[in-house]
Each structure stands twice: as structure tokens, then as C-alpha cells.
């Protein structure tokens, strides 16, 4: 059990470090069309009250890290803006929309915190007026602003879950009160998250790793239903039985099978690579409209297959 949790921590750490390279948004119903100037402003903002971080921080190109106490020492606190999710809506009743962005932060320990930050835009000046912690090692599924409230669907650490492993699906509601972001009571109890959550969307591969995008003319898709993955793997239809682990997100993918059509060399190589990596995947995480399948390349180097939500299966 200790080894399993250590591997999960490695997978989460590797995922956190790679977030900056994956910027394709798939929460279209709840976002607004931001301009390149908007994005540049968010990536260079000052933020405060972030979990694991002392005082105010200044993002540079969407990221920040603390300065080591000793020259050559290891940096501890880090922050990363999740730049592809920006919500817009009125939170304070003045009929002028605020913006909400999400940031990941870590203080150097095992915690990987997700923060929601409210941004006021006046005369093209972007100001962080409130921030709150959504949770430690949560999986952010979706978010929207509705009736002057931020509503977040997530998987959080439940009462019976180990700290490493979120397993309870819940809805959080937040409201802005006197420049404080306050969580509202929720009478609805959370439910246990299961692998069936993957069946709620159609998925399409966008990246082999955090910095290696899939070629534009290659289409690879994934569906989940009743213990089986199916989809299109660049050339052929494929299928693979899946066993869910004891903790939410853990899985075992059995040897995939496929139809036997022949395609050009590029597609055949992509198909072989995808099915090989899919079968090596041992964990999945859902983060803001993206699906990450994690696997270990060797004993310690974490890599990911990254999918986005699409409206229909290719």
C-alpha cells in the first residue's frame, strides 16, 4: 500500500509539473472567448492567499516559484495558472462580470492545491480581489458562474479516503462577500467516484506527453462503457477490457485488440504507440475537461496520454 501511494504521488507530481504545456480548453459552455491580451494579462498578474504560499506572488508567463534560501538550493513553493479555463459572470450583483481563474500551488510537501481566484477588470487593469482553496489533490471536473455563485463539480478527498487519493464526487458553491470568497453550505452529501465517470464524455487524444502534441491529421479516440475502452486508433477500431483499482483513478488495462486494416506508415506507428501506452497506463485523472492517463517510463519518469472532451466520437 505504501508503494502504491508513492507511485500515485509521483504521477500527481508529474502531472502538476506538466500542466503548463497543455492549454486546449474543453469547458466551452462555461468559458468566455478570451483574447491574447487577456491571456497575457492573466499570466502576468499578482495573486495572494494561495494555499502553501506566503504573501503575494507575481506570475511570469503563468508560473511562479519561490527563491531558494541558499544559492543552488531546491525551490519549495510553486504556482501554475491553469490558463485555458477562465469563467466570466457577475459575482457581486453590480451587473459587471468578474473573472474566475484557477491556479495550482504547492508548498514543497505532498500537497497539490487547487485555488479559485476572483479577478476584477477595470480600465484594462486586472486585479485579484479574492482567492480561496478548493481542496488538496482534488480533481476539477467542471465549473460555472450561475446566480452570482461559483459552482464547481470535483472529486475530493472523502472522510474515508487516504490523503493522497480523492474518491468522493461533490459539488461546491462559493460566493463573493466583502472581497472574501466564501464557501456555502451544501446539504447534498458527496457520492463515491467511480471509473464510470469516463462514460460521461467522448474523448480525443491531443498529446502523447506534456510537450508532444498529436499530429493534426491523426485521430485517436476513446470511449468507456461497462468495463471496456473502445475507440479509433489512427487506423483501426480497438477495444480493451479495463479493471478498476481499489482507489478512484487506479486501473489496469488489459491487452487491447483491434480490427486489421492496413494504413500508411505514419498511422500504423501512431496506432502501435497508442495501444502500447494505453496498456501501460495505471492511473487516470480528470482535470478541467481533460483526461490524463499516467504511466511510468522506467521506475520514476512519469508520462501522460492527454485527452480532451469532444462533442461526438470521431
CA 149 to chain centre: 21
CB atoms within 10 A of CB 37: 9
Last residue of one domain, picked from the residues 169, 192, 215:
192
pLDDT band at 21 (very low <50, low <70, confident <90, very high): very low
CB atoms within 10 A of CB 66: 17
Q: What's the pLDDT score for residue 165?
A: 85
| Distance in angstroms (rounded) separating the CA atoms of residues 259 and 239 | 9
Q: What's the pLDDT score for residue 109?
A: 76
Least confident stretch, 50-64, 93-107, 180-194, 235-249: 180-194
Q: Are residues 181 and 239 in the same domain?
A: no
Contact 139, 287 (CB under 8 A): yes
Q: Are residues 222 and 88 in the same domain?
A: no
33 versus 135: which is more confidently predicted? 135
Q: Has residue 217 been placed in a domain?
A: yes
The three cell numbers locating residue 175: 460566493
Q: Are residues 95 and 205 in the same domain?
A: no
Domain span at residue 259? Answer: 195-310
Last residue of one domain, picked from the residues 192, 219, 251:
192
Last residue of one domain, picked from the residues 127, 161, 192:
192
Q: Are residues 56 and 188 in the same domain?
A: yes
Least Cα distance to 268 among 279, 280, 259 occurs for: 259
Question: Furthest-apart CA pair in the chain: how many Å?
Answer: 63
* Backbone region of residue 91 per phi and psi (left: phi > 0; alpha: psi in -120 to 50; beta: other values): alpha
Amino acid at each position: 500500500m505504501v508503494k502504491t501511494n508513492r507511485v500515485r504521488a509521483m504521477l500527481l507530481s508529474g502531472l502538476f509539473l506538466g500542466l503548463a504545456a497543455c492549454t486546449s480548453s474543453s469547458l466551452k459552455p462555461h468559458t468566455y472567448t478570451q483574447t491574447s491580451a487577456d491571456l497575457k494579462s492573466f499570466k502576468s498578474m499578482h495573486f495572494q492567499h494561495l494555499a502553501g504560499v506566503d504573501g503575494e506572488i507575481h506570475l511570469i508567463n503563468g508560473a511562479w516559484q519561490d527563491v531558494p534560501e541558499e544559492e543552488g538550493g531546491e525551490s519549495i513553493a510553486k504556482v501554475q495558472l491553469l490558463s485555458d479555463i477562465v469563467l466570466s459572470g457577475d459575482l457581486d450583483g453590480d451587473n459587471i462580470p468578474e473573472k474566475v481563474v484557477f491556479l495550482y500551488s504547492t508548498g514543497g510537501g505532498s500537497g497539490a492545491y487547487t485555488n479559485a481566484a476572483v479577478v476584477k477588470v477595470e480600465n484594462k487593469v486586472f486585479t485579484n480581489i479574492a482567492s480561496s482553496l478548493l481542496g488538496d489533490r482534488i480533481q476539477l471536473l467542471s465549473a460555472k458562474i450561475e446566480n452570482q455563485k461559483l459552482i464547481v463539480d470535483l472529486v475530493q478527498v472523502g472522510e474515508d479516503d487516504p490523503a493522497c487519493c480523492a474518491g468522493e464526487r461533490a459539488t461546491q458553491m462559493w460566493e463573493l462577500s466583502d472581497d472574501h470568497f466564501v464557501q456555502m453550505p451544501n446539504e447534498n452529501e458527496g457520492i463515491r467516484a467511480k471509473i464510470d465517470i469516463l462514460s460521461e464524455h467522448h474523448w480525443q487524444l491531443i498529446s502523447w506527453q506534456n510537450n508532444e502534441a498529436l499530429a493534426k491529421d491523426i485521430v485517436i479516440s476513446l470511449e468507456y462503457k461497462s468495463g471496456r475502452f473502445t475507440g479509433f486508433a489512427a487506423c483501426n477500431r480497438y477495444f480493451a477490457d479495463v479493471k478498476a483499482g481499489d482507489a478512484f483513478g487506479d486501473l489496469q488495462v488489459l491487452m487491447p485488440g483491434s480490427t486489421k486494416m492496413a494504413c500508411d506508415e505514419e498511422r500504423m506507428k501512431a496506432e502501435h504507440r497508442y495501444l502500447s501506452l494505453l496498456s501501460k497506463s495505471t492511473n487516470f485523472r480528470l482535470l478541467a475537461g481533460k483526461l490524463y492517463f499516467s504511466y511510468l517510463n522506467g521506475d520514476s519518469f512519469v508520462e501522460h496520454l492527454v485527452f480532451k472532451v469532444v462533442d461526438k466520437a470521431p
